[in-house]
């Protein structure tokens, strides 16, 4: 038997009129809007007004909308927003679908970057991305280098405060980056934080590419990097201990017993090499 709560609330339903109006509204929003043709005199009046304010508008536009600094947030939602000289958010961008979803629910443009960052972290937390073994990576980059250190310090304080609300908070890091790194990352369509992590991975795994790992979280990329480093280290040890067996094999060994043991050792070396790559790669610095 239903309890009275169920019986009472069962009587509250969406009526057909509401549903029809909603369907019609959604249809309008979903379809492309037709171009509206203005009467000629209205169009000319509009052009004249635009010309009148053009000069002042250009100045104000550049003052208020030109980004002077950038903050990137990478959990698995991967987002970057830009800040003007007044510390207001003037643009935002998502590098993946998860980031796009977060941005669709947080109206950050025009807000102070502190509030925007808090709102984004809160929404990311509400979506369940802030898990205990996770990693929150923030990058900061300011065109004016004198703003970079204070911005980084402010962001660290905000992140620390926000994550303290979560009893099982992930670890967090705030990385200063250069404009060059940010541009290169955008060129690969990944966040700056992920770009740096992928660079480290590609140094130890020749088979890794931006395309193959762009959907991974930074934590996962770093785990893979650490794993490859360990494989390479073990591979070097196996190579040293099997040097005798390899020499015998190369000389077409005489006894079956020697051949069997050296083939085993060689297989283990090959397996390690295939997992992580063994090519030499020049290390690139993070700040150019």
Partner 1 sequence: MGTGGFPTADIRKDPFMKTEAETNLALQKYADTIRRICFMHLRNRNDLEDIFQDVFLKYILYCGVFETEAHERAWLIRVAINACKDLQKSFWRRKVSCLDDADLSNISISDSSKDLLDAVLRLTPPKYRDVIYLHYYEGYKASEIAHILGQKENTIYTWLSRAREQLKKQLGGEVFEESVQNSI
Alpha helices in the chain (DSSP H): 4-10, 16-30, 40-52, 54-65, 97-105, 113-126, 145-163, 179-187, 192-204, 210-213, 218-241, 243-250, 256-276
Contact 50, 58 (CB under 8 A): no
| Residue 9: HSE in the Cβ half-sphere, 13 Å Cα cutoff | 5
CB of 58 to partner 1, least distance (A): 30
CB of 123 to partner 1, least distance (A): 9
Rounded Cα distance between 136 and 133, Å, is: 10
Binding site residues, partner 1, CB under 8 A: 1-9, 11-27, 29-32, 97-98, 100-101, 104-105, 122, 125-128, 167
CB of 264 to partner 1, least distance (A): 45
User: Closest CB to partner 1 among 12 and 48?
Assistant: 12
User: Closest CB to partner 1 among 95 and 195?
Assistant: 95
CB of 115 to partner 1, least distance (A): 15
User: Closest CB to partner 1 among 77 and 219?
Assistant: 77
User: Closest CB to partner 1 among 25 and 61?
Assistant: 25
Contacts of 122 (CB under 8 A, 6+ apart): 162
């Amino acid at each position: 038997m239903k309890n009275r709560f169920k019986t009472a609330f069962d009587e509250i339903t969406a009526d057909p009129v509401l549903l029809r109006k909603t369907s019609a509204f959604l249809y309008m929003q979903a379809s492309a809007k037709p171009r509206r043709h203005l009467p000629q005199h209205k169009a000319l009046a509009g052009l004249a007004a635009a010309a009148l304010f053009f000069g002042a508008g250009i100045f104000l536009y550049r003052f208020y909308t030109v980004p002077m600094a950038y903050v990137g947030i990478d959990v698995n939602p991967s987002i970057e927003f830009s800040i003007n000289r007044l510390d207001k958010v003037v643009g935002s961008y998502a590098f993946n679908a998860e980031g796009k979803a977060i941005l669709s629910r947080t109206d950050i443009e025009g807000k102070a970057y502190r509030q925007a960052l808090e709102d984004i972290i809160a929404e990311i937390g509400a979506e369940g991305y802030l898990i205990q073994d996770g990693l929150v990576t923030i990058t900061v980059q300011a065109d004016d280098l004198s703003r970079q250190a204070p911005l980084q310090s402010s962001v660290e304080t905000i992140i620390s405060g926000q994550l303290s609300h979560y009893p099982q908070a992930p670890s967090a890091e705030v990385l200063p980056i250069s404009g060059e790194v940010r541009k290169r990352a955008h060129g690969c369509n990944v966040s700056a934080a992920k770009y740096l992590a992928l660079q480290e991975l590609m140094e130890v795994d020749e088979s890794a590419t931006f395309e193959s790992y762009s959907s991974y979280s930074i934590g996962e990329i770093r785990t893979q990097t650490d794993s490859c480093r360990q494989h390479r280290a073990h591979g070097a040890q196996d190579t040293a201990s099997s040097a005798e067996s390899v020499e015998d094999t190369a000389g077409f060994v005489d006894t079956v017993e020697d051949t069997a043991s050296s083939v085993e050792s060689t297989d283990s070396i090959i397996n390690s090499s295939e997992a992580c790559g063994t090519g030499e790669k020049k290390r690139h610095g993070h700040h150019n």
